[in-house]
A = this chain, B = another copy of it.
Amino acid sequence: MGETTVGQWFGPLVRWALVTRESVDDVAGSVVTLLTDFGLSDTFVGQMKGEMLSRTPGLTLVDLTHQVPPQSILIGALHLRAAWSAFPPGTVHLVVVDPGVGSDRRAIALSWQGHYFVGPDNGVLDGALDGAEPDDVIEIDPRQLHAERISRTFHGRDLFAPAAAELAGGRSLSDLGSVVDPRSLVRVDVPRAFRDGDTVHGTILIIDHYGNGITNIAAHLLEGAVARGIEVQCGEFRCSGLAASYAAAESDEALALISSMDTLELAVRDGAAATRYDLQTGAEVTVQFS
């Protein structure tokens, strides 16, 4: 068998494999998550996905949630904080809670701990950074995206989704716009819990789907709680001790435990604490050590 013959078969095979891979397989496994306040009753989310798949076929698209209360940057940031690190390095997180769309707020993309984040510069991406300085930040330049149209009301589809798709497809951050000073980023103001002697003061950040009140009181602020005993209060909600799990309480009983976000959670076994005790986002929570 001569070299020519091998080349006749071998070259095309390699090229065929490479070309096919370039078009789809190179990005197979590339993940883009979506987090918005768009809801699910319109096709806004679908349109963003269409734009991304048009640019970068083969992407894996994962919804975080689209039920952020309209224009609530804080809730968007908190959901991002809860979820981003569950994804593999290289994931692009597309976050669109954007009350300032069409204004001069910046459209940014940044890298942080091996992940990418794309969204408006209004603090919502700070949910992932939590005050830290990202590795790199750019302001997205629409010209680098060769977008056909950019509406004044839907940058999610026309600007952010294209940028996310380009990043997921392998384009570099620096290729999509000009460098931004990380210190100039808008930050989100998440209420902080603190300990004052034998009392920890905190706040309910989110009421979850089950009606649990997820607070900002980190587990480390409650060190010694099991041994010493604590009293937890939030309005009419009161309970004693830190439960190991929901199953540690009787049915219908109020309990406090460490949530899946590693913060204090107010719950009712087999019930909805928020409904029972009228818990609200922003309500004050106190933990009194015995």
Contact = CB atoms under 8 A, between A and B. Distances in A.
Contact of A257 (B51, B63, B103, B153): B153
Interface string A1-33: 111011001100110010011011100110101
A134 interface: no
Contacts of A101: 245-247
Nearest to A63: B46
Interface residues on A, range: 35 or more
Nearest to A265: B153
A29 B58 contact: yes
Interface stretch (A34-42, A139-147, A167-175): A34-42
Interface stretch (A78-86, A179-187, A195-203, A226-234): A78-86
A88 interface: yes
Which of A3, A5, A65 has its CB near the most chain B CB atoms (within 10 A)? A65
A214 to B, nearest CB: 9
Nearest to A33: B46
Given A65-B42, A247-B102, A248-B102, A50 B259 contact: no
A153 B86 contact: no
A151 B260 contact: yes
A244 to B, nearest CB: 6
Contacts of A40: 40, 63, 65-67, 209
Which of A3, A62, A103 has its CB near the most chain B CB atoms (within 10 A)? A62
A128 interface: no
A270 B210 CA distance: 28
Contacts of A25: 20, 24-25, 28
Contacts of A35: 43, 46
A16 to B, nearest CB: 9
Which of A51, A209, A258 has its CB near the most chain B CB atoms (within 10 A)? A209
Given A153-B265, A246-B102, A58 B57 contact: no
Nearest to A149: B262
Interface string A41-68: 1111111111101100111111111110
B83 A43 contact: yes
Given A209-B38, A245-B101, A258 B152 contact: yes
A194 interface: no
Nearest to A245: B102
25 contacts: A1-B2, A6-B6, A28-B57, A28-B58, A35-B46, A40-B40, A40-B66, A43-B65, A44-B260, A46-B63, A46-B83, A53-B60, A54-B88, A57-B60, A70-B272, A86-B157, A100-B247, A101-B246, A102-B245, A151-B259, A152-B244, A152-B245, A152-B257, A153-B245, A157-B260
